[in-house]
């Protein structure tokens, strides 16, 4: 497995969170929503024009800004 940014995954793809490379405030906000190392995450859709990324983590669905999604490293399954 290799590490990629969450923002590079396509809709329907799943991965495991490897690292949250965010400043303290964002790190705690993401952690409060369930974004933790080792958790499974799935991309539902990407909005147009570099808009938000719709993800599912556990039973929770969240919209993340693209800049926030770029700060999350995931371990994508080998292709």
Hey, what CATH topology would domain 2-76 get? Answer: SH3 type barrels. (2.30.30)
Q: How far apart are CA 70 and CA 72, in angstroms?
A: 6
C-alpha pair distances (Å), 46 with each of 3, 28, 43: 20, 24, 8
| Nearest of 71, 58, 76 to residue 16 by alpha carbon | 76
Query: How confident is the model over 20-75, as pLDDT tens digits?
Result: 999 999 999 999 999 999 999 999 999 988 889 999 999 999 999 999 999 999 99
User: For the chain, which residues make up each domain, given as ranges?
Assistant: 2-76
For range 6-28, the mean pLDDT? 94
Q: Which residue has the tokens 């800049």?
A: 67
| Nearest of 10, 27, 21, 15 to residue 70 by alpha carbon | 21
Q: Would the pTM of this model clear 0.75, i.e. be above it?
A: yes
């Amino acid at each position: 497995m290799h590490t990629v940014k969450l923002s590079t995954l396509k809709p329907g793809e799943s991965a495991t969170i490897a690292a949250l490379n965010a400043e303290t405030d964002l790190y705690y906000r993401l952690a409060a929503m369930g974004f933790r190392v080792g958790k499974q995450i799935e991309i539902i859709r990407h909005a147009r024009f570099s808009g938000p990324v719709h993800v599912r983590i556990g039973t929770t669905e969240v919209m993340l800004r693209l800049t926030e999604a770029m700060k999350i490293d995931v371990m994508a399954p080998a292709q």
